[in-house]
Chain A
Amino acid sequence: MTTTALIIMLGTWAVISYFTVRFFLRIFRSPHLHNPTEDALEDQLKE
């Protein structure tokens, strides 16, 4: 494998993997979309 191909491949993999993991960690830190109790209250109010 040529050095240029290796650098491009590893560089691309690193950038994409870094952002994927980073964003997923942020999602895992606040995993709940909403509070079920608040949702029920909001739905009741809308009705």
Chain B
Amino acid sequence: MERTKERWGTRIGLVLAMAGNAVGLGNFLRFPAQAVQNGGGAFIIPYLVSFVLMGLPLLWIEWAIGRHGGKYGHHSAPGMMDKLGHSRWLKYAGVFGIFTNLTIAAYYTYLESWTLGYVWYSLTGVFHNMSAHEVRDFFFWYVGAEGNPIINVSPHALFFFILTFTLNVWILSRGLSKGIETASKIGMPLLFIFGVFLAVRALTLNAGELNAINDALVGLNFLWNPKFESLADPKVWLAAAGQIFFTLSVGMGSIHCYAAYLRENEDIALNATTAGFTNEFVEVVLGGSIIIPIGVAYLGLDEVQRIVGLSMGFQTMPTLFQNWGPILAAVAGMAWFGLLFFAGITSSLAMGQPVVAFFHDEFHLDRKHAVRVYGVLLFILALPTILFFSHGAFGEYDDWSGTFSLVLFALIESIAFSWIFGIDRGWEEIQRGAELKIPIFFKFVMKYVTPLFLLGVFSGSLIAPKEGDWIAAFSQLFSGKGWPLDPNSILGKIFRVGVTDTRYFIDGEPTSIFIVDMTRLLLLVTFIGIACAVAYAWRHRKVQAEKGRTP
């Protein structure tokens, strides 16, 4: 196989690109919500335990799988997984590493485009003099959630999506070093500067100043005050493990891909650990110091507890910034949505590269053509999330690609690495060229603890009980009344728990159930299509090899 000459230009570029891959919108919007809803300061205990026992080991595993695969000219998951053992099925496990990146990028690019749009609206003063209600209505108009027509999208949302999509494709077409690395070197420092600016402004808010009703410290206390009794609740541990899992962007195939551009003796231990800690710094130190202190300062504890999450970032923050005067509000809006944009684009680029690499390596397309194919697929897959956003298409992508597939792939790869490739060879792979001595204790952790952690997270999403109450669910099970599945659990979704009306059409109009099922069908067809592409590429290579030619 022809080896690609693409390499990372600098070490700092690689670490920033990896950190940028991990840092996403969830660092600023999901982490504070999870902490507040799961024990406050006590949440950090299971969170850090999960980081050490699951997050870091998975990072090392994925970097090692990637660098190992890169040695054989594979920069995407199917080829890398294939090189872990002799089973011909391993490459099909790698299909997840293409599927998740492609389908998550499809809805994530749309989400990212909202942040770009909101940067523009903040700078041009669109939110100036708008009431809280009007800012919320503006968001619903923007995403097409007003009224109930089956296809509903604003031209603004489409414009900013196309702009964001084009930017992603253009950066990817410039290549690894000139494109992705340069974007990370610009985006990550700007994200950090914007984050520090907002955190300092948030933490210096005092009650009575600029219309604030609480000190910033009230918000920090809300976030960090420990409820130690919550540590006995399995839901809190699952939430912490889930947060670590999603924040590090593991189980996707993007870390593997970036690591595949390293040479076989280059360090992965220190690089991976630095990227992991950078993500934690952005999430815990910066992410925890913006949305909650500002929200509590202006809205109070109860309201923040009710609305914290993705919607608060878009529907509420622009209103709160207006309290700082028109100029500072515009700057703060630009900084807030700008940091979300940079967090988003460094992640979406990382999702694009494995797909581009797949077409480049396995179908021998040059980068320009591989990026074009990726662009067409991305656009087609993004359309349902844009057009049918308010009818559940976006949520379906998030559930099946952004949750289910990720955890399943991580579970498979951790078992494949430790048990099929072998933990001894795996440990040797991680240690080769290492500039950081990883304690031998982690060899045991990678073999036993990390897969068990992942099994726990996977089971947690598969059979999550009603309202996340595991203790009540087990007592109901042991009293013979069955398991109370939550409608949002994977099985709950498959078996339509809590859904009473399953009609596809009412008065000739398609229903949300129809949209949801068609979205699931599209995702399934995409997965099967990628599996067929993998089968074709391997069969073609085998035929070429039998003819005595190297493809």
B284 touches A34 (CB 8 A): no
Are A23's CB and B285's CB within 8 A?
Answer: no
Number of residues from B at the complex interface, CB < 8 A? 37
Q: Are A23's CB and B226's CB within 8 A?
A: no
Specify which chain B residues have a CB less than 8 angstroms from the CB of A6 in the assembled complex: 224
Asked if A5 is at the interface (CB within 8 A of a chain B CB), the reply is yes
**Contact between A23 and B274 (Cβ–Cβ < 8 Å)?**
yes
Interface hub of A2, A12, A28, A33 (most chain B Cβ within 10 A): A33
In-complex Cβ contact of B41 among A9, A28, A32 (8 A): A9
User: 8 Å CB contacts to B: which residues of A1-33?
Assistant: 1-2, 4-6, 8-9, 12-13, 16-17, 19-20, 23-24, 26-28, 30-33
Cβ–Cβ contact B44 & A8, under 8 A = yes
Which residue of chain A has the shortest Cβ distance to B51 in the bound complex? A16
Segment among B245-253, B263-271, B454-462, B529-537 that sits at the interface with chain A: B263-271
**Which residues of chain B come closer than 8 Å to A27, judged between CB atoms?**
11-12, 15, 270-271, 274
Q: Chain A residues near B10 (CB, 8 Å)?
A: 31-33
**B503 at interface (Cβ–Cβ under 8 A)?**
no
CA of A30 to CA of B369 in the docked complex: distance in angstroms? 36
- Using Cβ atoms and an 8 Å threshold, which residues of chain A touch B271? 27
> Ordered nearest first, which 9 A-B pairs have the shortest CB separation?
A23-B274, A5-B224, A8-B41, A1-B221, A5-B225, A9-B224, A20-B277, A20-B281, A1-B217
> Please, could you name 24 A-B residue pairs with CB atoms under 8 Å apart, sorted by A?
A1-B220, A1-B221, A1-B225, A2-B225, A4-B41, A5-B41, A5-B226, A9-B223, A12-B284, A13-B284, A16-B285, A17-B281, A20-B274, A26-B270, A26-B436, A30-B435, A31-B11, A32-B10, A33-B7, A33-B9, A33-B262, A39-B7, A39-B263, A43-B3
Binding site for B on A (CB under 8 A): 1-2, 4-6, 8-9, 12-13, 16-17, 19-20, 23-24, 26-28, 30-34, 39, 42-43, 46
